[in-house]
Structure formats: structure tokens, C-alpha cells
Amino acid sequence: MKKAMAGVAAMLIAGAAAAGEANQIVVDGSTTVGPIAKAFAEHYMQKHPEVNITVSESGSGNGAKSLINAACDVATMSRPMKNSEKKAAQDAGILPIEHVVAMDGIAVVVNNRNPVADLTTAQIRDIYTGKIRRWSELGGPDEPVVAISRDTNSGTYECFETLVMDQQKMASPVEYTGSNGAIRQRVMSTPGAVGYVGLAFTEGVKTVTVNGIEATPETVVSREYPIARPLYMYTSGRPAADSPLADYVGLAATEDGKRIIEATGFVALP
């Protein structure tokens, strides 16, 4: 018994000593980038079983905070880091390095029953500011509009706010949700709902065209689709060459990585 306890203690001490260094990569942040981060982790660990990559999806804002607090190695973000966050990182002695991994369009989605097929950016803004309250105003049935938004911690929210809302505040009836998947499910189950999600989350809901342009990888690449944005991974300092971290973040530039990004429904960088 005593021997076993001593053994466990020795293992724990050895573990504590080894814990600081790197056969682990902790990824935290955007729920939009989640599918890419998870697929990259799967791909990388297949080839390097000694490395443990953990992924959590808590929102871009939390990802940034995590990186600033040195609590993660990679912050996945669906928006660029804000100046205030960069400043906070600097104060904490951390230099966030930006890696663009893919492009994404923010698709505006409605329930399949909804006949509305196209919305202009102005109409979408009016929906979220509460000016448009019934679908009949947009040529649909006489049903109330249930506007679903991401929470303010989300990068998708911030991009939507910049690209669509034009500095106007969202109205109070707007519902805030914690993830892309949750918006998708809410829109699937509610006839009058409208929401916005990353391109990988449009299965089972109806994607409307925005200003007459469909959200597809092609229109996102050509920048025709108005609500498009890059997806990022941030690391603390430039990762050492050939380290697992460098390989993981660098996957996006490889052929394999690009195929993975496309298979998950996003747009690979050229």
C-alpha cells in the first residue's frame, strides 16, 4: 500500500515537472472555427499520437481572454483581435500572432417554411433593430419575426455588427444564443425565426440570398457576398519552427489542411 502510494506520488511529481512543456496543445475560442480546429486536431493526432490536442468552443471573446491569461496555446477567433485585447495581451507580456486559416461567409438563415428568399442588408438591419416585426412586411406570411443573434462574446456577432448593423444597436426582442449550432437548431424548430451562422452550419435550414447573392464558397472568395470574414488562429508569440504548435497552426496552408477546410464547409485560402 505504502509503496503504491509512493509510486503514485512519484508519478504525480514527475508529471508536474513535465506538465509545463509541450506535448499538449490547448485550443480555445470560436464556435465557428470549432469544426476546423477539431478536424485539424484529429488529423494531427493521427500522425502524432504522442501529442494531445484539446479543443473547446467557448466563443471568440473567451478565446482571446484565454490567450491573454496564458491559459491556452491557440485562440481560435472568427474576428480579428481588438486593440483593447492586444493592449491587454501586451500588458500581460504576451505577443499575439495572427494566423488566417480560412474564409467564411455569415449566412442568414430562416426556417424552411419561410417563403422569403432574399433580404437586403438594410432589411436585415431593420429586422435586428426591431423596425421590421412581421414577415408580411417582407412579403412573407403574417407571422412575427423571431430574430436570433449570437451573444456578445461571439466573433460572428461582432462581424455581423460591423458588416450589417452599421453601428446601430440590436433591439430588445432579439434572442441571444451561445453557439452557431444553437442558432441553427432554434431556426429549424421555429417557423418565424431568422438567424445568422457560419457556412458550416446551414444544414437543415434555408439560407436566404443577401442583396441577391447566395452565400457559397465561390461568392465568398470573390468578395461578392457582403457578409464575409476571415477566420483566425492566434498564438502567443511565433511558434518555434517544427514544433507541434507550428505544424498544427500551419496545417491551414497545406494541401491536406485545405481539403479539410473545404470538407467542413468553409473556404480555404488560395
Partner 1 sequence: MSLQTRKILDRTFSGAGLLAIAWLAAALLVLLAPMVVRGLRAVCFQGTIEHRRFLLEKFERGDRTEVEAEIRAAQAAREPAWRMLAEFDRQLAAGEASVRARYRAPLKDLRKHLQFLLGPEPGKPRPPLLRDQYGQTRMDLAQLGLERVLRREEWDYSNPAAGGVRESKPRAEDFAGTPLAALFPYVEQNLAAMMRPRRTFYWGFWTDESFDAHFFGGIWPEILGTFYLAIGTLLLAVPMGLVAAIYLTEYARESRFLAVLRTCNNTLAGVPSIVFGLFGLAFFINTAHVSPAKSVLAGSMTLALMILPTVIRASEEAIKAVPRTYREAALSLGAGRWHTVWSAVLPAALPGILTGIVISMGRAAGETAPIIFTAAVSVGRPLALWQTLAQPTPALSWNIYNLATEHEAVDLVRHVQYGLVLTLVGLVLLLNLAAILLRARIARRLRN
CB closer to partner 1 out of 78 and 114 = 114
C-alpha cell at 232: 483566425
The total of other beta-carbon atoms located within 10 Å of residue 134's CB is: 13
Report if residue 143 touches partner 1, rule: CB under 8 A: yes
Q: How far is the CB of 169 from partner 1 (least distance, A)?
A: 26
Are residues 244 and 44 in contact, defined by beta-carbon separation less than 8 angstroms? yes
Question: Which helix or strand (DSSP H or E) is residue 188 part of?
Answer: helix 180-189
The one segment of 99-107, 118-126, 134-142, 227-235 that binds partner 1 by CB under 8 A: 134-142
Complex with partner 1: residue 139 or 212, whichever CB lies closer: 139
- Within 10 A of 253 (CB to CB), how many other CB atoms are there? 13
User: Nearest CA to 95 among 236, 245, 249?
Assistant: 236
Q: Binders of partner 1 among 2-21, rule CB under 8 A?
A: 8, 11-12, 14-16, 18-20
Closer of 129 and 207 to partner 1 (Cβ): 207
Q: Are 266 and 233 in contact (CB under 8 A)?
A: no
Please state, in angstroms and rounded to a whole number, the distance separating the CA atoms of residues 259 and 40: 11
Q: Which three cell numbers stand for residue 247?
A: 505544424
Of residues 120, 168, 185, 209, which one binds partner 1 by CB under 8 A?
Answer: 185
Binding mask 204-243 for partner 1 (x = CB under 8 A): x-x-------------------------------------
Burial 10-31 (b: 16+ CB within 10 A, else e): eeeeeeeeeeeeeeebebbbbb
- C-beta of 113 vs 238, nearer to partner 1: 113
C-alpha dihedral over 242, 246, 249, 252, to 10 degrees?
A: -40
Coil, strand or helix: which one is 228? strand
For residue 67 the three cell numbers come to 490567450
Q: Check residue 42 for interaction with partner 1 (CB under 8 A).
A: yes
> If binding is defined by CB under 8 A, does position 24 make contact with partner 1?
yes
Q: How far apart (Å, rounded) are the C-alpha atoms in residues 166 and 16?
A: 50
**Using rule CB under 8 A, residue 48 touches partner 1:** no
Stretch that binds partner 1, among 101-109, 123-131, 135-143, 213-221 (CB under 8 A): 135-143
Closer to partner 1 at the Cβ: 58 or 165?
Answer: 58
Binding site for partner 1 (CB under 8 A): 8, 11-12, 14-16, 18-20, 24, 26, 28, 31, 34-35, 38-39, 41-43, 45, 52-58, 66, 69-73, 112-115, 117, 136, 139-143, 178-182, 184-185, 191, 200-201, 203-204, 206, 256, 259-260, 263-265
